[in-house]
Structure 1
Amino acid sequence: MPRPGRFRQRGGVIEAHELTKRYGRVTAVNELSFTVRPGVVTGFLGPNGAGKTTTLRMILGLNAPTGGTVTVGGRPFRSRPRGLRHVGALLDAGDVHGGRSALAHLSALARGNAVPRSRVHEVLDEVGLAGVARRRIGGFSLGMKQRLGIAAALLGDPPVLMFDEPLNGLDPEGVLWLRGLLRGLAAEGRVVFISSHMMSEMEHTADHLLVIGRGRLIASEPLAEFAARASRPSVTVRTPDPAALAALATGAGATVHREEDGACTVTGLSADRISELAYEHRVMLHEVTPRGSALEQAFMELTAGSAEFLTEAEPGRGAGPEEER
């Protein structure tokens, strides 16, 4: 939920202009230009290998661009000596010292960023880890480590927050909590930039989408407009008379594919229309289930052919862009 009265910083816009990153002959990010504005949750989507994580790392100054620029609040992030007071980020929940306690980990970050120690206890309480603050991080579950990473991002009370796959490891209660937290942070006027492969959650959380494929911008638009791109819904249908169903569906302009388990995938008709046709022609149905959301369908249609699994390693890291999510 928003915390009125505490947040004071403004102006943390993320701006990328022709941002490019190459690893040898492989171009992971290709002349990417976009703006992420405050006050909304911006989702960052793309197929595997699209360049999302590399882009986030360049925003934070962890990877140097081959070309182009990216700024936060009008300045490169590397130029800010107390980074957590300007940008809070969670890129890898497992990238913490397992021998430290949550309290010690956050306290060290607070000292290095001139953040009052009282904030450590505030964020631990906010993410639900106050009761395990003195436990070693090595014994934490993935969900607890995600909460700790979110606490670290919130520590400096920054105007810009970036999260890469923050839902990994969270139980349903944790997912609902994070959804509310992200919306509350945006309502306070912050930039909230979240990369995730979970379409259903993005549909419930994001207001605006940035979609990339093979390192290039494919779309930047409100979520509702993007979801409206879905043109051909797919529906799973189970029936004791698949031949009759197929004849009805194809006659109405749809395509029908028989699955190995006996189900039929009908593409080009809504679940309601399929049910109406079956009722009119006395074809019994056991199941009529839409496959994926409108957002997922639009994403698959728009990014078809954009998935790319890269294999060349980035110098000095031992792992290449194929790790992109």
Structure 2
Amino acid sequence: MIEAKELTKRYGAVTAVDGLSFTVRPGVVTGFLGPNGAGKSTTLRLILGLNGPTGGAVTVGGHRFAGRPRGLRRAGALLDAHDVHGGRTARAHLTALAVSNGLPRRRAGEVLEEVGLAAAAHRRIGRFSLGMKQRLGIAGALLGDPPVLLFDEPLNGLDPDGVLWVRGLFRRLADEGRTVFVSSHLMREMEQTAEELVVIGRGRLIAAESLTDFASRGTRRSVVVRTPDGTALVSALTAAGAEIARERDGRYTVTGLEPRRIAELARACGALLDELTPVSASLEEAFMELTARSVEYGAGETR
């Protein structure tokens, strides 16, 4: 378990993390979301003791992680796939990590096999693609078979097969009772992977709840409509303030009106409805709406 209480980090006049309190529970995959500059990477470094907090505290398994011996037995992390010595082979890199953490050398080969890099064990890391470096970073996180795992943007550079593999890996690790904390900007992937969310903006907590509950907080929900009387219905819905997009299959996606109101307007204008289907709440839409005021640099914005 990871527990943060009023966690704060300042760099001079800049507050990167501002009084964060949240809990990451074992047994579920928890997504860590926020706009660029929100403080996600700083928070992960604070959890692992790579930076010291200005205020508050964070514990891993009930203890401060900084200074604990043989740390890979307690928590594994992938923070930067490029943060490796390019002149070393994959096996040499992992063997060095194993020895420094009191782990058997054989673990290097075992985790290389697990992440699909056994055939590249003796290749120099500098020749690896980004996707291969991501797999190597995940191997390093798994090396000590730890109960807590943290991943910062682990899907960058992975092909579709790699994404499916990582999704299954995170689910398996959580099913084993481990704490799995994943930072990502890929909303659609988080919808497929995470069950819980911690969402921050400008260093402050926006939400710590289930993915379903967070997605349902978005107010701009959509309704799919199919009708043979498109012209009349579109006119009535547009006049009522709805936003309408025509799909390739001839149906309409209506945003800004509830299904009941759409049905009332259809009846009033004499339009027949063949379909009226509310669309499930979108994580991406809720995220964009609820973090809009926390974006550090918006498109087209000048400072």
Normalising by structure 1, we get a TM-score of 0.79
Spell out, residue by residue over 1:224-246, the C-alpha distance to the aligned partner (whole angstroms, 9 max, x if none).
11111122135899xxxx98675
Aligned length: 290
Q: Match of 2:43?
A: 55
Q: Match of 1:108?
A: 96
C-alpha distance in structure 2 between counterparts of 1:235 and 1:45, whole Å:
26
Q: Secondary structure at the match of 2:182?
A: strand
C-alpha distance in structure 1 between counterparts of 2:196 and 2:106, whole Å:
34
Residue 99 and residue 19 in structure 1: after superposition, are their counterparts in 2 closer, same or farther (change >3 A)? same
C-alpha distance in structure 1 between counterparts of 2:198 and 2:218, whole Å:
16
C-alpha distance in structure 2 between counterparts of 1:97 and 1:300, whole Å:
37
For residue 99 of structure 1, the aligned residue among 70, 73, 87 is: 87
1:153-232 aligned within 5 A? 153-232=141-220
Q: Secondary structure at the match of 2:169?
A: helix
Q: Match of 1:4?
A: none
1:119 has 2:107 as partner: yes
1:34-113 aligned within 5 A? 34-113=22-101
C-alpha distance in structure 1 between counterparts of 2:262 and 2:140, whole Å:
50
Native 8 Å contact 2:233 2:271 kept in 1:
no
Superposed CA RMSD in Å reads 3.4
Native 8 Å contact 1:254 1:267 kept in 2:
no
Native 8 Å contact 2:8 2:20 kept in 1:
yes
C-alpha distance in structure 1 between counterparts of 2:111 and 2:283, whole Å:
33
Q: Secondary structure at the match of 1:107?
A: helix
Spell out, residue by residue over 1:35-81, the C-alpha distance to the aligned partner (whole angstroms, 9 max, x if none).
11111101111111111110001111111111111111121111211
C-alpha distance in structure 2 between counterparts of 1:195 and 1:245, whole Å:
43
Native 8 Å contact 2:243 2:256 kept in 1:
no
Residue 185 and residue 75 in structure 1: after superposition, are their counterparts in 2 closer, same or farther (change >3 A)? same
Residue 249 and residue 81 in structure 1: after superposition, are their counterparts in 2 closer, same or farther (change >3 A)? same
Q: Match of 1:7?
A: none
C-alpha distance in structure 2 between counterparts of 1:257 and 1:183, whole Å:
37
**What code does the residue aligned with 1:191 have?**
T
C-alpha distance in structure 2 between counterparts of 1:194 and 1:296, whole Å:
16
Normalising by structure 2, we get a TM-score of 0.85
Q: Unaligned regions of 5+ residues in structure 2, if any?
A: 246-251, 273-278, 299-303
Q: Secondary structure at the match of 2:198?
A: strand
Q: Match of 1:143?
A: 131
Percent of matched pairs sharing the same residue: 69
1:268 has 2:256 as partner: yes
Residue 297 of structure 1: how far off its partner (Å): 1.3
1:255 has 2:242 as partner: yes
**What code does the residue aligned with 2:190 have?**
M
Q: Unaligned regions of 5+ residues in structure 1, if any?
A: 1-12, 259-263, 283-289, 311-325
**What code does the residue aligned with 1:232 have?**
R
Native 8 Å contact 1:254 1:266 kept in 2:
no
Native 8 Å contact 2:16 2:38 kept in 1:
yes
Q: Match of 1:302?
A: 290
